[in-house]
Amino acid sequence: MMKNYIKSAWRNLWSNRFYSTINVTGLSVGLAVGIMVLLWVQNELSYDRFHKNANNIYKINSHIGTGDGAQVWDGSPGPLMVFSKQIPEIKQVVRVNNAFEQSLFIYGDKKIKESRLAFVDSTLFSLFDFQVVKGNKEKPLPGMYSIILTQSTAKKYFGTSDPIGQILVNDNRNFTVSAIIKDFPENSTLQYDMLMPMSLYADMFTKWGGNGDWKTIDEDLGNYPYHTYLQLQENVDPDEAAQKLTKIFRDKKPDSKDNYFSFQPLTTLHLVASNGSANALETVRIFLIVAILVLCIACINYVNLSTARSMLRSKEVSVRKIIGAARWQLFIQFIIESVLLFLFASILAFILIYLLLPLYNNLSGKNLLFSFANSNVWLVVGSAIVGSLILASIYPALLLSSFKPLQALRGKLSIGIGKVAFRKVLVVTQFVFSVGLIIATIVISYQLKYIRNKDLGLDKEHVFSFAITREISEHYDAAKVQLLNQPGILDVAASNNNLVANDASTSDTDWDGKEEGRLFLIHPNAVDHSFIPLLQMKIVAGNNFTGTKSDSAHFILNETAVKQAGIKDPIGKSFTLWGTKGIVTGVVQDFNYASLKQSIEPAVFLYRPSYWRIYVKTTGKDAARAIAGVQKVWKSYNPDFPFEYSFLDDDFNRIYSDDQRTGTLFSVFAAIAILISCLGLFGLATFTAQVKIKEIGIRKVLGASITSITNLLAKDFIVLVLTAFIIASPLAWIAMNKWLQNYAYRINISWWIFFVTGLIAIAVTLLTVSFQAIKAAIANPVKSLRTE
């Protein structure tokens, strides 16, 4: 019997090749897009879940200050590891401290700059499940100058040779390779190439003189450079454990009564910021909804075409019933037709995925793999196909198997007003989705354009920067003169911080009139006297630095710092930073140095000859000459270090790379949604023209024009699309207005966005429907009237 079902299903699909092709195409595109998006969602949600104790591992976040000055840092002080031993709820702790300096490692004639390094405690491999493939798994960092390499890093230096025991030289220090670990998984928030023992950093910290009265990292309560992870005992309330840790910290540092710590689950780190902002998680949820919507649009096409053509199959169903077919047998017959059609659509979808996945990875910034050897792929593919099949096949099968045979054979069967209305509802629904995606695409594009063109309060055009080594820093004045003599360079300045996304901040400040006990956080920037003029920042009060020794006691504040500190007439007023007492000599106009998703925060400029980044101003046409000139000077100081630079506008654009990808993907999804919707409209328009073929012939004989007949066939679809537009517009406005709330600086959603979207929807509908409408209108009426 099953063989007969399959044979009958194949014959029906083959005899209706036009509609089968539309269904297979729409479903395959929908499945391909839906599966790829779901793979992306599954990848985003999988971060850090490969650790066996992932659900019991947390990261310590530091909450600093209150009110407008409150901040949340993902770093924490070193002594928290010592304090945690007093809390029985905490099972184990590890600190990870990123090494920010450029590091040149030498092995034989190989000299390689490494940037992904970290100092770690010995508990790293007992808390996390990173695999040690060579070396002592129990004690992978046995000495202060031990070093752990990932497999790919080891291959760079040693090829196929055994790396264990080999020596790497860095800054006149000999590091012994003590262990090799597998490369950190792509879905891990921790990503490093080399790991060094925390004992080495502790030794370096002590030799630097510590931090005031705190001479060791286990005493230093004033710095927050460590990413601290901990594992709790089973069934422990993380909030209670965090409160105990906070109490111990406050007892040791009474002036931090407003500060506290919270524990953030490891599995949320990738998508939820330390301050609780869940923008990335919202994006994942939006993409999950988009995947479901695209699949629904494809399924709606199938349901619409199946139900629309149900009257044409009524006699077939009736004959089957008269000769003894039960309703459940007919139901199975039509389900098998759907399964067969879905099988073809799935095969085509897999082919599309293999072809499009490289492009999709490029757009999404991922490295997704589509392999049936991966159980996660089966989970995603199975969910998408089975879900879509159930959604698309049950209703048409129930409808087709429900016909009454005598009425059908007499030609008195009507599918009913309700079923026609249901089909219209489905068309409206899929265009609500499509119109919503179009509106979202336009709003996102407009917001990103606004960000790119907004006046940031500084000139970032034709400015590039590069991190410098100790050799250049110690001879900065001489290096600056050499750089200024290079062709194409207009100006040179230096800073101790990267201007873009500078997250360094301090509360060690004082000024006349500061309330006792107030915690005031400010972003410090040590610069030379050329920095502010190079970036064309506007001095709104006072003067810039002069470049003389007296500048060491001078400070320049931004407008927000003056306002939040409550300093009236700041020029000449006393200001203290890090124990250095001086006066405010200038106020610079507020400028954006971070993402426009956040408001401008207080900033202070100080003059201090200790720099690690140089900024170079050039012109568009001289950029290549300027870069070559800088590289020449670089080589004279650092012949072994590769020269790396970045333009300031690229640094700012990098802040919004995720938003740019979101905008691009939304554009693609909107186009695909419209394409699939139009396939359905095209099929329905073709069917409508076939059903009304005699009516069209009579109208033509009676003198109807091609235009009037085209309008007859197209007007119903235009009404449906306009209805979808009316429904989608307020929903899209609410959704995108909520999305824009993520930005402190944002556009207003203008009326023209909806007007343009409406025009696009109507134009696309007319183009889709008019082809079949005009084809029917110009057909020979005599031939049409002869058609039975």
Residue 239, pLDDT > 50, answer: yes
3 state DSSP class of 121: coil
411-436 pLDDT, tens digit per residue, is: 444 444 345 676 778 788 888 888 88
DSSP string, 604-664: EEEE-S--SEEEEE--TTTHHHHHHHHHHHHHHH-SSSPP--EEHHHHHHHHTHHHHHHHH
The encoded tokens of residue 516 equal 């006792």
Closest among 120, 127, 116, 118 to 152, alpha carbons compared: 116
Q: Which residue has the higher pLDDT, 507 or 325?
A: 507
Average predicted confidence (pLDDT) for the chain: 83
Nearest to 451 by CA among 750, 660, 751: 660
State the Cα torsion 265-270-274-276 to the nearest 10°.
-80
Reply yes or no on whether the pLDDT at 312 is more than 60: no
- Please give the residue that has the higher pLDDT: either 20 or 135: 135
Q: Of 83-87, 159-163, 445-449, which range is least confident?
A: 445-449
* Distance from the first to the final alpha carbon of the chain: 33
Give pLDDT, residue 455.
Answer: 83
For residue range 337-350, list pLDDT tens digits in order: 777 777 788 888 88
Residue with tokens 């001078």: 554
Q: Give the mean model confidence (pLDDT) for residues 54-58.
A: 94
**For residues 393-411, average pLDDT:** 55
Q: Estimate the crossing angle of helix 751-777 against helix 693-701, to 10 degrees.
A: 80
Query: pLDDT-based confidence at 616, cuts 50/70/90?
Result: very high
- Residue 333 has a pLDDT of 67
Using pLDDT thresholds of 50, 70 and 90, give the confidence band for residue 571: very high
The pLDDT of residue 458: 87
Amino acid at 509: T
- Please give the structure tokens belonging to residue 351: 């082919």
Does residue 109 carry a pLDDT above 80?
A: yes
- pLDDT tens digits for range 326-335: 656 666 666 7
CB 572 within 8 A of CB 544: no
Residue 334: CA count within 13 A, CB half-sphere: 28
**How confident is the model over 366-378, as a mean pLDDT?**
75
* 405: its two tokens: 């045979």
* Lowest-confidence region among 554-568, 609-623, 708-722: 708-722
Name the band, by pLDDT with cuts 50, 70 and 90, for residue 6.
Answer: low
Q: How far is CA 97 from CA 84, 121, 542, 690, 746, in A?
A: 18, 9, 40, 72, 36
pLDDT at 402: 57
In whole angstroms, give the CA distance from residue 599 to residue 388: 44
Q: What pLDDT, on a 0 to 100 scale, did the predictor assign at position 416? A: 44
Question: Of the candidates 117, 120, 116, 153, which has an alpha carbon nearest to the alpha carbon of residue 134?
Answer: 153
How much is the average pLDDT of 562-579? Answer: 90
Strands 90-98 and 491-495: unpaired
With 0-12 / 13-18 / 19 or more C-beta atoms within 10 angstroms meaning exposed / middle / buried, residue 533 is middle
The pLDDT score that the predictor gives to residue 101 is 65
Give the tens place of pLDDT for each residue, 454-466: 888 888 899 999 8
- For 479-531, what is each residue's pLDDT tens digit? 999 999 999 999 999 998 888 877 778 888 899 888 877 778 888 999 999 99
Using only C-alpha atoms, the chain has a radius of gyration, in whole angstroms, of 34
Is-contact 784 696, C-beta < 8 A? Answer: yes
Decide: 180 and 148 in contact? Cβ < 8 Å.
yes
Tell which residue, 361, 283, 375, 378, has the closest CA to residue 41. 283
Q: What is the pLDDT of residue 420?
A: 64
Residue of higher predicted confidence among 261 and 785: 261
Q: What is the pLDDT of residue 413?
A: 47
The Cα–Cα gap between 61 and 594 comes to 20
> How many whole angstroms separate alpha carbon 34 and alpha carbon 670?
13
Of the listed ranges 452-456, 536-540, 623-627, the one predicted with least confidence:
452-456
Residues 6 or more apart whose CB falls under 8 angstroms from that of 586 comprise 539, 541, 542, 543, 544, 545, 554, 556, 557, 571, 605
Assess contact for 727 and 428: CB atoms under 8 A: yes
| DSSP H or E segment with residue 90 | strand 90-98
SS (H, E, C) 248-269: HHHHHCHHHCCCEEEEEEHHHC
Residue 177 pLDDT level (bands cut at 50, 70, 90): very high
The proportion of the chain whose per-residue pLDDT surpasses 70, expressed as a percent, equals 82
Over residues 690-731, the pLDDT tens digits come to 666 666 667 666 666 767 767 776 777 788 889 989 999 999
Instruction: Report DSSP letters for 168-229, one per residue.
Output: EEETTEEEEEEEEEPPPPTT-S---SEEEEHHHHHHHHHHTT-BTTB-STTT--S---BEEE
pLDDT at position 418, please? 40
* CA 359/CA 32 separation, integer angstroms: 13
- State the Cα angle at 30 between 24 and 33, rounded to 5°: 135
Burial bucket for residue 484 (CB in 10 Å: 0-12, 13-18, 19+): middle
Please check whether residue 616 is in contact with residue 626, taking contact to mean a CB–CB distance below 8 angstroms: yes
**Residue (of 37, 767, 719, 751) closest to 439 by Cα position:** 751
Token pair of 434, please?
């499509």
